[in-house]
Amino acid sequence: MLKVSRLTKRFGGIIAVNDVSFEVKKGEIVGLIGPNGAGKSTLINLISGFYMPDKGSIEFNGKEITKSKMYERAKMGIARTFQNPRLVSNMTALMNVIYAVLGSERGKKISLVEAYGEAMYYLDLFGLLKKRDIVVSDLPIYELRLLELARALALQPKLLLIDEAMAGLNPAEAESVSRLINRIREEFDLTIIWVEHVLKILMKSVERIIVMHYGKLLADGFPEEVVKKPEVVEAYVGEERV
Amino acid sequence: MEIKFEPRRGRLVIHAFGRKYDWIIEPRYWRNPVIGFLIWLSLPLIVTLVASLINIKPVALISTLIFANILIIVSIPLVLQIIGTGRVNFGPHFFVALGGYTAALLSKNFGISPILTLPVSFIIGLLIGLALSPITIISRGVYFVLITLLLPFILAELAYWRSDIFGAETGIPGVEVMVHTGNFMNDLIIYFYISFLIGFLYLLIVDRVLRSRYGFLMGVINEDEDVAAAYGIDVNRIKVIVFTFTSGAMAVAGWFLAHYQGSFTGPAWLTPAFLILVLLTTTLGGKGAIYGVVISGYVIAMLREVTRTTFGELSTVALFLILLILLYLLREGFWGLYRKRRYREYEPSIRIRRKT
Ligand SMILES: Nc1ncnc2c1ncn2[C@@H]1O[C@H](COP(=O)(O)OP(=O)(O)O)[C@@H](O)[C@H]1O
Ligand SMILES: [Mg+2]
């Protein structure tokens, strides 16, 4: 479904993503981990079209999308969340989901009223229905993370890119976010790339883990095997939460 | 063809032309808009009455109303443009002058009637707007401000350079006027209603657009273009379309001026003072509220007239001081006074229309 080949992105002297290649099959849920500054967010930004790569190519559903614009990729079915929740802060929770419904491929065919209804449905999935009229700037981080997911899902994506859904949450909240992600994955037949800094919960939820370090792909495989690899352990030396 | 009225609880259903229309009798849906519309419509009458009471000539006051309508005709498209492109255009008067010069030159040199110069002025505004629209993609912030600010200066300089064509500060004379009944006062009142009609039409259109899905998406673009694009909105397309059409709409103000004054003097309108009045009209109108623009247009035009007749040499200083104070006091514009409850921008209101 997604094929990333020799992707490279530089910021000045830093090579944030360095010659990264991997493939994700339809229906897979892949964890993407690595210490801070490893290039995980940059990789998400490259796949979603936020940045253009310096080298390499991206293929989605057999189509080359390396040069496609961000909104085109969104319409093709690539949705992403933001590491630092990035919602339209003076709009309500509901309105923040509505524009994703309207922006989706079939968004053109439905009226504003229908989009309202659909947005309610996605809010409800994440238990946010009661918060629908609250202006986003008044919501706590846990609800912002849920709203990010609801908005991404409203795009009716085929591929969901999650950039740290659990950062800043307490263990109980993180647990429930993780459960929700697994639930929507089954219900909506999603392919997911899930970036997380914290390993523990991710380990239980994903079937495959990709490790990045200094922009490079360090390891790729079953979670239990990957975390035992010496180079991965070394990359995380000093990082307490492996 | 049959028209049938069917009263229901709280609404009236009208069957006409093979379709079904719902009219909600609930007064809060239409009472205030209707009152507002009627007041706007009867402003010349009100002003004439007031003038006779305080014993001054109503001519100056009607001219002021027309000036207010011009401010409104420029400001309504500008508000839509600000929302839809997420940028503040500092050159709306450039497009006014484009329309003015187009109408004046066509009328004076080729004797083309106002009815025909109207679409041509609009289209010229549209085309130049389209040609310039990439600036909404490649620039923002101060860069966008500077680019748009330079346009009217360049046009004014061109008007001086080829004063044989553009007439510089004496303008292009001999433009056909739209109305000549023989009675100056009647003419003015008709001009008021022509400009009123344009302003009202703009208000209806922009109101419709802002309530539509596109208005909603413009709200998102206005706040965060990256988020809009990440969620499937073709940001550049919307910005180009909005910029193009609003440019054409502003040019119509120039068309009106040319055929109202019987001449068009670019350097009189390509001034920072006119720009500031337009920007104040949009700002004091209240962010995101298109109706407020009508109120602020009238208040500002009236303030200008009052300061001009009472403060003599200091009239401009007095006008801008008063406006400065208003800006400071009315953080949500005149509309904020009307709508005191917590105000959310760009909330689309939904009218459910049942299909037959
Ligand atoms: N827009 C940017 N401009 C400059 N440097 C950047 C930018 N985005 C990321 N970087 C750099 O790229 C590297 C990778 O960052 P990032 O992808 O955010 O890492 P991660 O998400 O794994 O923590 C870091 O060194 C960061 O400073
Ligand atoms: Mg990151």
- Write the pLDDT tens digit of every residue in B150-180: 999 999 999 999 888 888 888 888 889 998 8
Regarding whether A117 and A235 lie in a shared domain, the answer is no
Residue A136 forms part of a structural domain: yes
Regarding whether A183 and A214 lie in a shared domain, the answer is yes
Contact B229 A107 (CB under 8 A): no
Regarding whether B237 and B146 lie in a shared domain, the answer is yes
How many domains, chain A? 2
Residues 6+ apart with CB under 8 A from A24: A1, A2, A3, A30, A159, A191, A193
- pLDDT: which is higher, A136 or B13: A136
For residue range B58-84, what is the model confidence (pLDDT) as tens digits?
888 999 999 999 999 999 999 999 999
Residue B142 forms part of a structural domain: yes
Regarding whether A161 and A72 lie in a shared domain, the answer is yes
Q: What is the pLDDT of residue B39?
A: 92
Residue A43 forms part of a structural domain: yes
Task: State both tokens at B211.
Answer: 């309530």
Regarding whether B9 and B73 lie in a shared domain, the answer is no
DSSP notation for A128-185:
-GGGTTSBGGGS-HHHHHHHHHHHHHHT--SEEEEE-SSTT--HHHHHHHHHHHHHHH
Instruction: Identify any residues that bridge with A135 across adjacent strands, giving them in sequence order.
Output: A92
Q: What is the pLDDT of residue B347?
A: 46
Domain of residue B297, CATH code? 1.10.3470
How many domains, chain B? 2
- Closest ligand 1 atom, CA of A45? 17
Nearest to B232 among A113, A115, A155 (CB): A155
DSSP state at residue B133: T
**Taking residues A32-61, what's their average pLDDT?**
94
Output the average pLDDT for chain B. Answer: 88
Could you tell me the sign of the dihedral formed by the alpha carbons of B340, B344, B348, B354, in that order?
negative
Query: Residue A38 Cα, ligand 2 centroid: separation in angstroms?
Result: 8
ipTM: 0.91
CB atoms within 10 A of CB B35: 10
The dihedrals phi and psi of B12, each to the nearest 5 degrees, come to -120, 125
Q: How far apart are the first and last CA of chain B?
A: 17
Q: Looking at the predicted structure, is the pLDDT value of residue B266 above 50?
A: yes
- Closest ligand 1 atom, CA of A43? 17
Closest CA to A154 of A49, A77, A84: A77
Regarding whether B51 and B19 lie in a shared domain, the answer is no
Regarding whether B25 and B98 lie in a shared domain, the answer is no
Identify all chain B residues contacting A86, using CB atoms and an 8 Å cutoff.
224, 226-227
What is the C-alpha to C-alpha distance for residues B92 and B72, in angstroms, rounded to an integer? 12
Could you tell me the sign of the dihedral formed by the alpha carbons of A110, A111, A112, A116, in that order?
negative
Q: What is the pLDDT of residue A237?
A: 60
- Closest ligand 1 atom, CA of A215? 14
Regarding whether A172 and A55 lie in a shared domain, the answer is yes
What is the C-alpha to C-alpha distance for residues A60 and A191, in angstroms, rounded to an integer? 12
pLDDT band at B26 (very low <50, low <70, confident <90, very high): low
Regarding whether B25 and B87 lie in a shared domain, the answer is no
Regarding whether A130 and A162 lie in a shared domain, the answer is no
Q: What is the pLDDT of residue B52?
A: 84
Regarding whether B90 and B12 lie in a shared domain, the answer is no
Residue B17, CA atoms < 13 Å, CB-side half-sphere: 1
What is the C-alpha to C-alpha distance for residues B284 and B337, in angstroms, rounded to an integer? 11
Which domain range does residue B3 map to?
Answer: 1-31
Regarding whether B161 and B26 lie in a shared domain, the answer is no
For residue range B276-324, what is the model confidence (pLDDT) as tens digits?
999 999 999 876 578 889 999 999 999 999 898 888 889 989 999 999 9
Task: Determine the distance in angstroms separating the CA of A112 from the nearest CA of chain B, rounded to an integer.
Answer: 6
Regarding whether B17 and B54 lie in a shared domain, the answer is no
Residue A106 forms part of a structural domain: yes
Residue A184 forms part of a structural domain: yes
**Taking residues A76-85, what's their average pLDDT?**
94
- pLDDT: which is higher, B293 or B337: B293
Regarding whether B208 and B327 lie in a shared domain, the answer is yes
Q: Looking at the predicted structure, is the pLDDT value of residue B50 above 70?
A: yes
Regarding whether A126 and A93 lie in a shared domain, the answer is yes
Domain of residue A33, CATH code? 3.40.50.300
Contact (CB, 8 A) for B177 and B264: no
pLDDT band at A223 (very low <50, low <70, confident <90, very high): confident
In this structure, the residue with its CA closest to atom 17 of ligand 1 is A39
What is the C-alpha to C-alpha distance for residues B5 and B18, in angstroms, rounded to an integer? 13
Task: State both tokens at B321.
Answer: 């001081």
Which domain range does residue A65 map to?
Answer: 2-77+157-239
Residue B352 forms part of a structural domain: no
Burial B47-67 (b: 16+ CB within 10 A, else e): bbeebeeeeeebeebbbbbbb
- pLDDT: which is higher, B286 or A226: A226
Instruction: Identify any residues that bridge with A192 across adjacent strands, giving them in sequence order.
Output: A29, A160
Regarding whether A136 and A92 lie in a shared domain, the answer is yes
Regarding whether A196 and A87 lie in a shared domain, the answer is no
Closest CA to A101 of B216, B156, B318: B216
Q: What is the pLDDT of residue A242?
A: 42
**Taking residues B215-244, what's their average pLDDT?**
95
For residue range A185-222, what is the model confidence (pLDDT) as tens digits?
999 999 999 999 877 778 888 989 999 999 999 889 89
Nearest to B231 among A69, A89, A155 (CB): A155
Q: What is the pLDDT of residue B310?
A: 87
Identify all chain A residues contacting B137, using CB atoms and an 8 Å cutoff.
none
Regarding whether B106 and B210 lie in a shared domain, the answer is yes
Q: What is the pLDDT of residue A142?
A: 94
Helix (H) and strand (E) counts for chain A? 9, 10
Regarding whether B194 and B67 lie in a shared domain, the answer is yes
Regarding whether B126 and B17 lie in a shared domain, the answer is no
**Taking residues B223-244, what's their average pLDDT?**
95
Strands A78-80 and A159-163: parallel
Residue A226 forms part of a structural domain: yes
Q: What is the pLDDT of residue A177?
A: 93
Residues 6+ apart with CB under 8 A from B353: B22
Report the range of poorest mean pLDDT among A223-232, B218-227, B337-346.
B337-346
Contact A71 B227 (CB under 8 A): no
Q: What is the pLDDT of residue B340?
A: 57
pLDDT band at B20 (very low <50, low <70, confident <90, very high): confident
Could you tell me the sign of the dihedral formed by the alpha carbons of B204, B209, B210, B211, in that order?
positive
Q: How many CB pairs under 8 A join A and B?
A: 84
Output the average pLDDT for chain A. Answer: 91
- pLDDT: which is higher, A61 or A226: A61
